Structure 1
Amino acid sequence: MIYTVTFNPSIDYIVNVDNFMTGVVNRTSKEIIFPGGKGINVSMVLKNLGEESTALGFMAGFTGDAITRLLQEKGVTADFIHVTEGLSRINVKLRAQTETEINGQGPKIASEDIRKLYGKLDALQDGDTLVLAGSIPDTMPESMYMDIMEHLQNKKLNIVVDATRDLLMNVLAYHPFLIKPNNHELGEIFHTVINDKDDVVTYAKRMQEKGARNVLVSMAGDGAVLVTEDGQEFRAEAPKGKLVNSVGAGDSMVAGFIYGYLNGGSYADAFRYGVCTGSASAFSEELATKKEVIALMDANQKLF
């Protein structure tokens, strides 16, 4: 079974405003509402690919109820912990002459809420996959990812971590199955600028030396690199297409990798699905569908 954790789910309210101006009344030309959050994105893309998962996390108030309902409408199983103080956040993404985002704070997560999360994580079985993705709210310990991995270290789980800087570095000692920084985040960790795929491989191997098993590095329009625990290296250019929406592309890559690994049985399959699923989301208004992913895979076989 696959489980995703999103500490601070959101309603993503995406609005298009032609000729946006401050200080006056603006009217939208298009509106879209999604359940948001990195782990939730992974669960939604997995569902689109035909793979079941359970989305874990925290929700509060009428906005939390709405997030749960939206996920149910998409066929995604949600098992959120209800938080009593505050509201699940609404993130506003304004598309005008330039893109602007206003992200809400989210509810206050109490120590009792965290204990309830551990109770749900204790139910995971050997062989399950757990995805930890995104930032940690200010009301939770900064060490939360590391604490979870330490708590679960006696279980034989495939844990995927999609986080940045210290959040990522602190979990490496617990040997996550997969980490997915982008090339800029990888460069920040080592205080350098990564210019090409050779540099990516070099620093991905350094992440392995620190404990990561597999390192998948996204490079936006420059493609991606995978360095595996058995010594394989995979490189690919990005599939060609028109960038429509970059939000969720990295989460889609994670979902595609998991799907390809579980259903194809090889890192080559995982890499191919990961790259094409991430690109399919980037080329679409919404998150990638299986039809879109397969079409990209068929059209870009030479990339792999």
Structure 2
Amino acid sequence: MIYTVTLNPSIDFIVRLDKVEIGAVNRMDSDDKFAGGKGINVSRILQRLGYDNTATGFIGGFTGRFVEEGLDKEGIKTQFVSVDQDTRINVKIKADDETEINGAGPVISESQLAELETILSSLNQGDVVVFAGSAPANLGNQVYNRLIPLAKKAGAEVVCDFEGQTLLDSLNYEPLLVKPNNHELEAIFGVKLNGLDDVEKYAREILAKGAKNVIISMAGDGALLVTKEAAYFAKPIKGQVKNSVGAGDSMVAGFTGEFVTSGDPIEALKWGVACGTSTAFSDDLADIAFIKETYEKVEVEKR
């Protein structure tokens, strides 16, 4: 079973209008509301690809019920810990510029955290857990240093989609996959990357620190998968970018689902790129028909 952990889920409230005028009344042209959060995005794409999975984390209030009901409608199993305060709302304004206003999220008690620890401790050999995104403020991202070891001790593999120090800390647990983008890779090592050779060089530094597979996403410049055995470059696919929210999560889902099933890194990269690209070219997370169409366009070459 694949589990996704979203410590601070959200309702993603997407608002579309031509232009935002500060200090004036702005009327939207259209809007959508989706169950959001990085791990939840992974769950939604996994389900569309046909991979059974369970979403867990913290959920609360009427906003939390919206998230759970949305996942249930998509056939996604959930095992959330209930909390006292409302799940947050993140507002994504798509206008002449794209602007995000993200909610803070609820306060998590020690007993509620212990409930999640119990869930992770009860996993089985062969399970895979995707840890993704930031934690509620009162926990801080250091909480992952409590949670990830529980999954590993239970015999599960872990996938870690974090930035900065949280990503570096996660390498102590030998994650199956990490997926920084090229800018995050630059920030981690304090360097400027010039070309694929540099990207591969520093991705291998991530491998040396403990990761089993590293994907460096480079937006319109493609993606590079680096393993201990080889490196594979997926060429960029041309199209109109409509949505930057969830593209990276979609890539994580596509890679994880295929790799756990087949163990084939090239096929996993192709599905990861297909999912990430098709979501970038969609208003919401991509549907399965578009993902399959995009998959046919993915070209991967060994370096």
Partner of 1:225: 224
C-alpha displacement of 1:184: 0.7
Structure-1 separation of matches of 2:237 and 2:262: 20
C-alpha displacement of 1:262: 2.9
C-alpha displacement of 1:241: 1.4
Please give the per-residue CA displacement for 1:33-63, whole angstroms capped at 9, x wherever unaligned: 1111000000000011111110001011111
Structure-2 separation of matches of 1:168 and 1:300: 27
Q: TM-score, normalised by structure 1?
A: 0.95
The amino acid of 1:116's aligned partner reads E
| Counterparts of residues 250-265 of structure 1 (less than 5 Å) | 250-265=248-263
Helix, strand or coil at the partner of 2:152? coil
C-alpha displacement of 1:303: 6.3
Helix, strand or coil at the partner of 1:22? coil
Partner of 1:240: 238
Greater mean alpha carbon deviation, residues 128-137 or residues 144-153: 144-153
Q: Is the 8 A contact 2:151 2:157 kept in 1?
A: no
Partner of 2:48: 48
Greater mean alpha carbon deviation, residues 285-294 or residues 18-27: 18-27
Unpaired segments of 5 or more residues in structure 1? none
C-alpha displacement of 1:256: 0.4
| Counterparts of residues 57-72 of structure 1 (less than 5 Å) | 57-72=57-72
Partner of 2:136: 137
| Counterparts of residues 282-297 of structure 1 (less than 5 Å) | 282-297=280-295
C-alpha displacement of 1:302: 6.6
The amino acid of 2:239's aligned partner reads G
| Counterparts of residues 61-210 of structure 1 (less than 5 Å) | 61-84=61-84, 86-210=85-209
Pair 1:8-2:5 in alignment: no
Structure-1 separation of matches of 2:256 and 2:32: 27
Please give the per-residue CA displacement for 1:80-110, whole angstroms capped at 9, x wherever unaligned: 11101x2110111112221111111111011
What is the number of equivalent residue pairs in this alignment? 302
The alpha-carbon distance between structure 1 residues 269 and 144, as it changes in their structure 2 partners (threshold 3 A), is same
Partner of 2:29: 29
Helix, strand or coil at the partner of 2:296? helix
Partner of 1:19: 19
Helix, strand or coil at the partner of 1:211? coil
Structure-1 separation of matches of 2:52 and 2:152: 24
Structure-2 separation of matches of 1:210 and 1:82: 35
Structure-1 separation of matches of 2:39 and 2:124: 19
Structure-1 separation of matches of 2:232 and 2:134: 28
Give % identity.
43
Structure-2 separation of matches of 1:300 and 1:227: 17
Q: Is the 8 A contact 2:270 2:298 kept in 1?
A: no
The alpha-carbon distance between structure 1 residues 297 and 109, as it changes in their structure 2 partners (threshold 3 A), is same
Q: Is the 8 A contact 1:4 1:130 kept in 2?
A: yes
C-alpha displacement of 1:126: 0.4
Q: What's the Cα RMSD here?
A: 1.5
C-alpha displacement of 1:253: 0.2
Structure-1 separation of matches of 2:244 and 2:137: 26
Q: Which runs of 4+ in 1 moved over 6 A?
A: none
Greater mean alpha carbon deviation, residues 288-297 or residues 105-114: 288-297
Q: Is the 8 A contact 2:151 2:158 kept in 1?
A: no
Unpaired segments of 5 or more residues in structure 2? none
